[in-house]
Structure 1
Amino acid sequence: MLVLSRKKNESIVINNDIRIVVVEIRGDKVRLGVEAPREVPVHRHEVYEAIQRSNEASEATDSPLDN
């Protein structure tokens, strides 16, 4: 894992087309802005996990039963 220090309004760039900006720092919370191409999905981790679980459940009910 790469660990970086950034101040408000500073950013990092990933793969030339994704930019993460520190928008605000308030106490122990940091607000980040993400600029990415529309075709790149960006989710909070807990939302991503819920989507994965939903996809797995959907695949399990859509797959034919082995007899």
Structure 2
Amino acid sequence: MLVLTRKLGEVIKIGDKIKVVVVSVEGGSVKLGIEAPDEIPVHREEVYEKIASENRVASAQIDKEKARALKKILPGKTGQTKPGSEGIGRKNG
């Protein structure tokens, strides 16, 4: 981790597209301004974690919905072969 000391109004550059400015310092709190391109998401960590958690829940729900849809399309199919049926339909070479 890179640790830097900055004063009010000073800037930190991350690459050529991201700029972090010290906007205010009050007591034990520092307010930062962040300029970044729209395609680079910028979130507080707690917001990022909540978004990631909600995405995992939504993804799991979609997977369950896909599984239900497949069961309707392929009733009785489990993807398993019956014992002894492995060679059926294959040419012996």
Higher RCO (CA < 8 A, seq sep 6+): 1
Structure with the largest fraction of strand: 1
Identity %: 48
How many matched pairs?
67
Runs of 4+ aligned residues of structure 1 deviating over 2 Å after TM superposition are none
TM-score (norm 2): 0.68
Q: How do 1:26-65 and structure 2 match up within 5 A? A: 26-63=26-63, 64-65=66-67
Unpaired segments ≥5 residues, structure 2: 68-77, 79-93
Higher helix share: 2
TM-score using structure 1 length: 0.93
Give me the CA root mean square deviation.
1.4
List gaps (5 residues or longer) in structure 1.
none
